[in-house]
Amino acid sequence: MFEITKEFHFSASHVLDQLPAWHPCARMHGHNYIVVLELSARDDALLPPGFVRDYRDLDTFKKWMDDTLDHRHLNESMGGGASPTAENLAKWIFDRWRGELPELTAVKVSETPKTWAVYRP
């Protein structure tokens, strides 16, 4: 099995409404997010010339991320459904991109240098 990853960055705000009013994350605040896409393929499923996926194919993800998430309010960008936690953001991105990137196996999201959430179905 081969695995590749690519890291992307964006900045955005969010509010975690379900937290008590005294919690700092209940107020609007922002993060410099890091998103890592993880893609995998078996030896016999590599694309010519031996790629899991050409990294250039991920340019469409970067454009979507810049247009949809960068310098936006995640409560609005994510459609107001699930709370815009790092965990839910990772799943939301995975669900949105799995159809276009069938090799996608996980999405990792970091809000701070010390924290990561991973969605791997």
Residues labelled catalytic: 25, 71, 111
CA distance 109 to 115: 8
The distance from CA 98 to its chain's CA centroid, rounded to whole angstroms, is 12
Q: Helix, strand, coil shares of the chain as percentages rounded to 5?
A: 30, 35, 35
**Token duo for residue 82:** 């699930």
The CA-CA-CA angle for residues 65, 98, 62, to 5°, reads 20
Exposed / middle / buried, residue 24 (Cβ in 10 Å: 0-12, 13-18, 19+): exposed
